[in-house]
Amino acid sequence: MFAKKVSEICLLGLRNVPARGRVSSVAASQAPQAGPPPRPETSSATTLMDIGTRRIFNEDHDIFRRSVRRFYQEEVIPYHTEWEKAGQVSREVWEKAGEQGMLGVMIPAEHGGVGADLFSVAVTWEEQMYSNCTGPGFSLHSDIIMPYISNYGSKEQIERFIPEMTAGKCIAAIAMTEPGAGSDLQGVRTHAKRDGSDWILNGNKVFISNGWMADLVVVVAVTDREAKSAAHGISLFLVEDGMKGFQKGRKLEKIGLKAQDTAELFFEDVRLPADAILGEPNKGFYYLMNELPQERLVIAGMAIASCEFMFEETRNYVMQRKAFGKTIAHLQTVQHKLAELKTEICVGRAFVDNCLQLHAEKRLDAATASMAKFWASDLQNKVATQCLQLHGGWGYMWEYPIAKAFVDSRIQPIYGGTNEIMKELIGRSIVSRK
């Protein structure tokens, strides 16, 4: 805002100033003004993870960022190795995150959330990636699942679940993917049929993040097999842990995200009351389409933050690692590679920050969100590969942070809709006549 104000003053002053007097007038208009100085962008900051950078944030966001960064340093990093072995984080860390105000950040306060803005939410995504600890499924819980309940839930559903979710006492998952249906949501086979006023749910889901620890699962199911298209016959249900017929399978062993619980879920004649349906029957596909842009923005935001972490980790490494009598940072080939990586990361950061601004104004469309997700997650994998290469053999050792970041990056182009599907959506928007 400060820079914009200065520009407006300069332009107004130039309209009626003779050419010879313009230099002095511009200089006068650019004299120091009251207010905070412009915030540097990441390209000119000391490191890509500095606090106090980027015009989308303000001092309140900086205070919150310090708090979140301290939380990860004290409550997550010291325990993450233990959680990787267990295949899940502790319930205590969820409740501590709730006490810290890190869950339900953007959910309206009147619904039981924190009631902060989108940029505060982005701080939580970024700081998790800066910690290189992917175990806690906070963003999925808060910024992907909670909006479904807040936006489409009944007053009773909101009052029952949102406060507990904000407190970290009710952990949530969303069950879309099935063994035969991934990015194509219209291929879902899990179904629910009416039985009086109740619903009977049958089917199974796979690759469900937070699935093992979940107290509440938003389940995507077909409710009208005679609909003119599959999209017109899908509904969302709130299924609680402990319901008869709802079983959790084993925790799935993955190549990455080792501390994040991922499970298979099975539903066999689960009887659901009428008030378990989320929103209106057969409107589920439209709800999913409305919320998927935010899910893809979450993935993009975390991808770029991971890139920034990996870059800084690699910069520190090459400035210490010696070869041929000097640090490898002195080698031109290493400097050029770092220059390429930083440039690409800063370009990606500028685009994702623009998407954050658009979304804050409710102007982020599906195609742009798909661009952000596809571009940022592809870049994340590129940065992971090249930063690991700069670590040499040590980069292949699990004890080194870059090794964990490398394997954790690989899922990003897959979930939230594969990047091939992202390109399909972008392509359709390009050739559409609408």
| Contact yes or no for 62/48 (Cβ under 8 A) | no
Active site residue 295: yes
Among 201, 204, 264, residue whose Cα is nearest residue 237: 201
Residue 313 corresponds to which tokens in the numbers above?
Answer: 């980790």
Whether residue 241 contacts residue 204, with contact meaning beta carbons closer than 8 Å, is answered with no
CA proximity to 220, closest of 235, 204, 202, 205: 235
Which of 127, 264, 295, 308 is labelled catalytic?
295
**Displacement of CA 389 from its chain's centroid (Å):** 26
60 token code pair: 């309140």
CA neighbor of 168 nearest in space, from 121, 215, 106, 116 = 215
Q: 293 with 374: CB under 8 angstroms?
A: no
Buried b (16+ CB within 10 A) or exposed e, 322-335: eeeeeebbeeeebe
CA end-to-end distance (rounded Å), the chain:
35
Q: Three-class SS of residue 434? A: coil
Question: Catalytic residue numbers?
Answer: 295
